[in-house]
Amino acid sequence: MRLVLVGPPGSGKGTQAERLVRHFDLTQVGTGAMFRDAMARGTKMGLEVSPLMKQGLLVPDPIVNDVVAELFRSKSRPECFVMDGYPRTYAQAVAFDALLKLEYLPLDAVINLTISDDDVVKRIGGRMCCASPACGVCFNVYHRPPEVPGVCDACGEPLVIREDDKEETIRRRLGEFHKNTDALLEHYRRQHLVDDVSATDPADVIFRNILKALERRHPGAAAGAATANGGKR
Ligand code: AMP
């Protein structure tokens, strides 16, 4: 299964991506996580993207496209994957189409998680993520609290509010999201790849609805990695 997840910050994209990874045995490709890792390691690219990310602005298309192309052209390229946060603009979608065509890796579906801006702001108000760049798991004090307040369940490091999760930053990121996403979705709708799924339901229900949408496209696929296509649909 090769999927793109589209949704504003706070739509639960990361949570659904994790579930899809487990269910279909996919590689999760998260460009935000790749940039945070580059920043933490202090690489040249990390230093370049750091001020943009801190202001909630998008990293320029050529930089993001290069990072993704490098991954897909490497020997350890993912064959089955869920894209979490890429492509985010029409130009990125066009570049990604060309890359996947060259690599003979056609997309199966684009899952569009839908939620209003006000609901996003409510949700993100409670988000805290693991301070360790190697982990980066996110919790929500209202909807998905960690077992011990302020501590990551996965690795025990402290949880922090990411600079790009502060309300002012969120409003800016939502503005950017709307500015870019219409053209992106239109591009994929023309290819009949888009499934709209409401992101306001509980995470389990959202996941079930995603599976239903994928099942409609590929009957038998929703059963997951154990049965579909010899374990790797
Ligand atoms: P995320 O973790 O996906 O919310 O991304 C965090 C930040 O990384 C975004 O606010 C952008 O600054 C940057 N970023 C991640 N993915 C992309 C992308 N596909 N295009 C441009 N900027 C991105």
CATH architecture of 2-6+11-115+192-228: 3-Layer(aba) Sandwich (3.40)
Output the CA–CA distances (angstroms, integers) from residue 141 to 85, 144, 145, 152, in the order listed.
Answer: 23, 6, 5, 12
Higher pLDDT, 221 or 45: 45
**How far is the centre of ligand 1, averaged over its atoms, from the C-alpha of 229 (Å)?**
32
pLDDT per position as a tens digit, 12-53:
888 999 999 999 999 999 999 899 999 999 999 999 999 998
Query: Atom 5 of ligand 1 has which residue's CA nearest to it?
Result: 32
Output the CA–CA distances (angstroms, integers) from residue 38 to 29, 158, 162, 230, in the order listed.
Answer: 14, 20, 16, 35
User: Does 143 have pLDDT greater than 90?
Assistant: no
Q: Which residue out of 13, 19, 36, 233 is catalytically annotated?
A: 13
64 in ligand 1 pocket by Cβ < 6 Å? yes
Tell me the best of 31, 65, 82, 88 to mutate to test the pocket of ligand 1, counting ligand atoms within 8 Å of each CB and taking the most: 31
CB 82 within 8 A of CB 109: no
| Domain extents in the chain | 2-6+11-115+192-228
Q: Which residue out of 2, 36, 162, 233 is catalytically annotated?
A: 162
**How far is the centre of ligand 1, averaged over its atoms, from the C-alpha of 119 (Å)?**
20
| 173 is a catalytic site residue | yes
pTM: 0.80
Task: Return the pLDDT at 233.
Answer: 54
* C-alpha closest to that of 19 among 209, 228, 230: 209
pLDDT per position as a tens digit, 74-104:
999 999 999 998 999 999 999 999 999 999 9
Output the CA–CA distances (angstroms, integers) from residue 33 to 46, 93, 106, 215, in the order listed.
Answer: 11, 19, 24, 29
User: Does 10 have pLDDT greater than 70?
Assistant: yes
Residues found in the chain: 233
